Structure 1
């Protein structure tokens, strides 16, 4: 076939990819019309205006004027094009059903208004909200939809199912912080929520954020050759993200709480899909919320953006526990993504298969581990058993079997695959230069890779040309051929994130890494929620250790004047330590400032020298040491290279 690139330099599907799509389609289970019935059941209304404006004026998102647009996936219609995996296309249609829906009388969801769902429960005085979405913009719009088509009542309570930002970041789009601080609106979350939310988004925030641009295809156009679907939802919104700390912690399974007349019974599920997560049951309505532990897809045991590896075995056991506790009487269930299930038989079947899915991933991986197989071998060996493959919600639209089994391996055995050559490998550039030399030079390598590409072996082309690009990043033929291979792999992928990762890689090989002066820092709301220990642990990560070695060993004190908190700070061998409540015997200096100044320094990137000059911070002792230490704090840029050195 003739290959014609579009105006963005993107290829159509090759004959090999078309054949792959057809072969994959032949393995799929019969279409189940019940999924469409579930996704559309209870529809009330959707927004007439498709766009939600982005009101964020800081950070990388400020260059994206639209927070969310339900028209972006209008192209997902009819049969799957050759450039999209047919199973992913089916999922994209289901995830594209957007608007306000009734689950049961008094319980409503706004879906596909954000990457996650938000749920509204009619209480005695107003709305109890479960998971107020990712951004203020999308959350505010969801509440407006409820006010317009149901009742214009205030939000009287908020429940966070877990510690991921798409389930709490939009809270201030639905409530005022002053009402929380005045005790008028309770915020309920699982024990450990605040620590988990801050830890995941701060310590590795810059790297996670950059990798997330790949996982979610955040710079890709939405079309048949670009972003199609996230698998778990349509995509990721941009806008203002906030943190409102919980006022009530759920500390144990079986704990009960009544919020605005609505009775909850909680089941804690820590270290499942999130470090802090919980299910809850509404005994007066026989309705079960499964948070993000049961959704319309296989989930991630380790998300591609990066995170602490999740416990697939515990995950399965929590679903089993929910079946044991509520299975005899539950009549409907819903989650923080995807669509609800109705009828006890349907709920039990759905939960049972989700339980079996994560148990199978865990047990089969560990069986093969103990037979001596490596993670990449296991990833290539395993396939889902028929009973799970024939259930669409067990397919890898978001997580995949391939990277989930490697995650299970990593949880138990770490990065090392047991082979001695893996102990001390050369880093990518040095390794690439040696591989390329062995292969006869870049031109010879690219010529051989072209033959593999023509034969349809895109996995090998993608793998081997990494060496060519890292050895000679200016070699246009190597870059473009690897981009072409990534593109075809993206077209073939059933998982939305795999598709986006491949297509983002192809785009950046063709156009280069985006040059935007965006620096990643904790958002101010997160900084306010961090303890002093967390603040200075984060600053210790930013500290240039080599520069700190030259600065020498010393200790100082930081006093937070408006809270009377004190932290001792020690610099030793290029590392920085914080001791809350402990004052060093011989500090070189004492810094005094209100907490708001420290929060601004962390979130806004100001310098301590400027704060001292402005009089918002004072130093008693050697101010030059304090300023020199602060000047060693690195800024983390958002757009570091991934597919090139």
Structure 2
């Protein structure tokens, strides 16, 4: 979301939420937050420790290991991965020698075949989304947590699971502790919840965290089925939990509060999905819907639904694509002109490149940054130009300060740096 002082709201959110915290939420259960991009939970068993997620790097996992031994005097014997994202399992190498069992679940829907052919572009877009080349001051945070350790030269140390489950639900006793694991697709297809009935503790992974979720990740990926995610939240609310421990952001205490927060989280997703589908059925385009649909105040004003990670606009476009595909219904767009031909014709119509460049400079001066970016793209589609690259980079940097989402902020700033490097190559 672009708002006045968007960058400052992200700074305020970061400073308030990401202090290093180790808390024993109930006897034998600890919640670790602020030590990595994600959280970790550990539960003391009879002979060892059950660890839910491992932080994002080996170095951070080693620090987590010290925290666990300090509080329990025991080693990690069992690791449960809530899902397969690297920020939740990158520290597993720190526990490799002691862990006897590592449990994960199989995805509900397999990754599209030949996805590996997209590795280069997804890595590039992932780097932009997470702001890997930015300084701490530029990046601020990653929205749902402190920056990943790889930014500081740390290393991922993923250890494959010893058991990959195909079941929907598993109930076990692990080292004297009753554990229930349930497959709940949401942000990830292999996402699970972990319920400790004797402790009244529910670990929900990334199906809930305290800001607006990545219902669509701008780095790219398969559709995250929002209807399924809504059902998963219903399942979470059906448990009599007194402590909800998410994979990112702060824990929630008290069953009434948990049900209230999860209910609002679920209803906000349902609202966006329903309004988008209704608008699509009325014949509106994805861009029309993205400009119109906003969370109503009853949800938008809740601190745990602030757009510091995902974004409503991006979600609307993704829903449209998932349900109706790329075509917006306008026959003009069935066979559009090639970008270069379109830009050349538009530039002629406007009055030439010089006039368009002056209009772009004026837009930057008058803080019409999006219009500046669109005019720059029109010019760059016709031919690369050093002055236009510099102008677009400036507009991207300015836009970043309006962006409340860490992902969006990083993407603007990373692309600005790339354009300045490209400009140096042209000049060189």
Task: Determine if the alignment matches structure 1 residue 233 to structure 2 residue 145.
Answer: yes
Radius of gyration: which is bigger?
1
CA contact under 8 A between 1:116 and 1:336: conserved in structure 2?
yes
Task: Determine if the alignment matches structure 1 residue 384 to structure 2 residue 295.
Answer: yes
- TM-score if structure 1 supplies the norm length? 0.62
What does residue 95 of structure 2 align with?
Answer: 174
Equivalent of residue 205 in structure 2, options 278, 286, 291: 291
Task: Determine if the alignment matches structure 1 residue 128 to structure 2 residue 50.
Answer: yes
CA contact under 8 A between 1:194 and 1:246: conserved in structure 2?
no
* Structure with higher helix content: 2
Within 1, Cα distance between the matches of 2:46 and 2:15?
36
Equivalent of residue 506 in structure 1, options 409, 412, 416: 416
1:183-212 per-position Cα deviation (integer Å, ceiling 9, x unaligned): xx111112338965x989845332211101
Within 2, Cα distance between the matches of 1:123 and 1:430?
67
What does residue 55 of structure 1 align with?
Answer: none
1:407-422 matches, cutoff 5 A: 407-422=318-333
Within 2, Cα distance between the matches of 1:357 and 1:153?
42
Aligned CA distance change for structure 1 residues 335 and 445 (closer, same or farther; 3 Å): same
Instruction: Give the number of the structure with larger relative contact order, counting CA–CA contacts within 8 Å between residues 6 or more apart.
Output: 2
1:384-427 per-position Cα deviation (integer Å, ceiling 9, x unaligned): 11211121111211110010111111111122212223223345
Equivalent of residue 175 in structure 2, options 260, 277, 284: 260
CA contact under 8 A between 1:155 and 1:175: conserved in structure 2?
no
Aligned CA distance change for structure 1 residues 109 and 194 (closer, same or farther; 3 Å): farther
CA contact under 8 A between 2:187 and 2:214: conserved in structure 1?
yes
1:28-83 per-position Cα deviation (integer Å, ceiling 9, x unaligned): xxxxxxxxxxxxxxxxxxxxxxxxxxxxxxxxxxxxxxxxxxxxxxxxxxxxxx5x
Deviation at 1:363, TM superposition (A): 0.8
Instruction: Report the secondary structure of 2:377's partner residue.
Output: helix
CA contact under 8 A between 2:369 and 2:396: conserved in structure 1?
yes
Deviation at 1:303, TM superposition (A): 0.4
Within 2, Cα distance between the matches of 1:275 and 1:93?
31
Question: Which ranges in structure 2 are unaligned for 5 or more consecutive residues?
Answer: none
Instruction: Report the secondary structure of 1:100's partner residue.
Output: strand
What does residue 189 of structure 1 align with?
Answer: 104
Instruction: Report the secondary structure of 1:156's partner residue.
Output: strand
What does residue 475 of structure 1 align with?
Answer: 386
What does residue 34 of structure 2 align with?
Answer: 112
CA contact under 8 A between 1:158 and 1:187: conserved in structure 2?
yes
Instruction: Report the secondary structure of 1:125's partner residue.
Output: coil
Task: Determine if the alignment matches structure 1 residue 425 to structure 2 residue 336.
Answer: yes
Instruction: Report the secondary structure of 2:149's partner residue.
Output: coil
Instruction: Report the secondary structure of 1:294's partner residue.
Output: coil
What does residue 401 of structure 1 align with?
Answer: 312
Deviation at 1:261, TM superposition (A): 2.0
Aligned CA distance change for structure 1 residues 332 and 357 (closer, same or farther; 3 Å): same
- TM-score if structure 2 supplies the norm length? 0.91
Deviation at 1:287, TM superposition (A): 1.0
Within 1, Cα distance between the matches of 2:383 and 2:321?
32
Aligned CA distance change for structure 1 residues 428 and 389 (closer, same or farther; 3 Å): same
Within 2, Cα distance between the matches of 1:512 and 1:151?
53
1:280-310 per-position Cα deviation (integer Å, ceiling 9, x unaligned): 2110011111110110111112201111010
Within 2, Cα distance between the matches of 1:514 and 1:108?
51
- What RMSD, in angstroms, separates the aligned Cα atoms of the two structures? 2.5
Deviation at 1:511, TM superposition (A): 2.8
Aligned CA distance change for structure 1 residues 352 and 199 (closer, same or farther; 3 Å): farther
Equivalent of residue 306 in structure 1, options 203, 213, 220: 220
